[in-house]
Amino acid sequence: MPSSPLDPARLTAELIRCPSVTPEEGGALQLLDEILTGAGFACTRVNRGGVANLFARWGPKGAERTFGFNGHTDVVPVGDEAAWSVPPFGAVEKDGMLWGRGATDMKSGVAAFVAAAVDFVAETPPDGAVILAITGDEEGDAVDGTRALLDWMDENDERMSACIVGEPTCPDRMGEMIKIGRRGSLSAWITLTGVQGHSAYPHRAKNPLPAMARLMDRMASHTLDEGTEHFDPSTLAVVTIDTGNPATNVIPAQCRATVNIRFNDAHDSASLIACIQAEIGRVAAEFGVTGEMQVKVSGESFLTPPGPLSDLVARAVEAETGATPVLSTTGGTSDARFVKDHCPVVEFGLVGQTMHQVDERVEIDQIHQLKAVYTQILRDYFT
């Protein structure tokens, strides 16, 4: 057991110094494994597909009440290192900030819940169990990260009763937002094929470009919905249209486009895919071309309805920050989309203004605040 409280800011700095760009472990999970094992947690490395993951449990397996935290230690690439004012993995402290890749997203969140869990079980051993599920594959394809941990837990009869994902959730001020759900995400790669020909003789060709322009206009102009009780309206973004044609006297045979849809709980991916396919069929018939589509679904929309878990987190946030958090479903996807199939889940973490940016940084005081919030949540949950 640690003789003094575990400093979450110092632990964040140690994690930043681990160059854990997805899928490299970089020493981050090894560091956490050593700390948690020393604090009495039963640790298991759940590695899959070349990805390192860490499962840690304090308390009895199969406990009736088991509170969990989920997070990741992998980070996005640094980009142009010359554009940084500090070494990206240097964990420099200046101006009350801790600087480095992963400072916000989300080594600070992992450090805060690790420090909270270690100190909590040492000071007031709970009647139950605390589980930490930490992945090295959140910023990548996320196939062998939290999914692997949850698969392993199912196979080994490990269970969380409730879980917090420690992603940054606050837009501007510490404590202002809790995420109780996320929109789904779907990307579609569409190809329309006509007949190549000379641009001086368009009647001898079948040009897929006007067809694609019509298709993209129809899709982008269509209102998917007006929003639901807990979600903003769904959105469709056209992200690229391309032929790869350098010639001005050639009508190309193919045109490709990609769209991304962020959808609320008025839809599921299957219904949206069917709608897109139907629209492709209509335009293809209208222009005499053929169409095909490939789709990747990154996650379905989900909601943890406001209730005991969000109330528990909100009380702790208000007690430690003085802010009354709003319950939100905004933003992109997170690993909560996987955890929601295992147990009730919400997200709460730091202010995320600089995540993925050059000179990523976090207020050191906020890291300590976050540990205090997580500690209060554990106290209230097991009281």
Report which residue type is found at 193. T
Q: What does the block give as tokens for 239?
A: 């992200």
Q: How far apart are CA 306 and CA 290, in angstroms?
A: 46
Residue 146's H or E segment, with its range, is helix 146-155
The single-letter DSSP state of residue 26 is T
* Cα separation of the two ends of the chain: 22
**Catalytic-labelled residue, pool 74, 105, 119, 347:** 74
Residues 6+ apart with CB under 8 A from 33: 43, 45, 54, 56
DSSP string computed for 153-202: HHHTT---SEEEE----BSSSTTSEEE-EE-EEEEEEEEEE-B-EETT-G
Q: How far apart are CA 30 and CA 301, in angstroms?
A: 33
Phi and psi at residue 247, in whole multiples of 5°?
-95, 145
Cβ atoms of 88 and 21 within 8 Å: the answer is no
Residues 6+ apart with CB under 8 A from 98: 9, 12, 13, 16, 91, 92, 108, 361, 362, 364, 367
137 in active site? no
Q: What does the block give as tokens for 289?
A: 């071309």
Residues 6+ apart with CB under 8 A from 343: 68, 159, 160, 161, 162, 163
Distances (CA, A) of 253 to 67, 194, 243, 337: 57, 5, 9, 39
> Which residue matches tokens 């009895």?
60
Q: How far apart are CA 338 and CA 105, in angstroms?
A: 18
**Catalytic-labelled residue, pool 137, 138, 167, 265:** 138
74 in active site? yes
- Which of the residues are catalytic? 74, 138
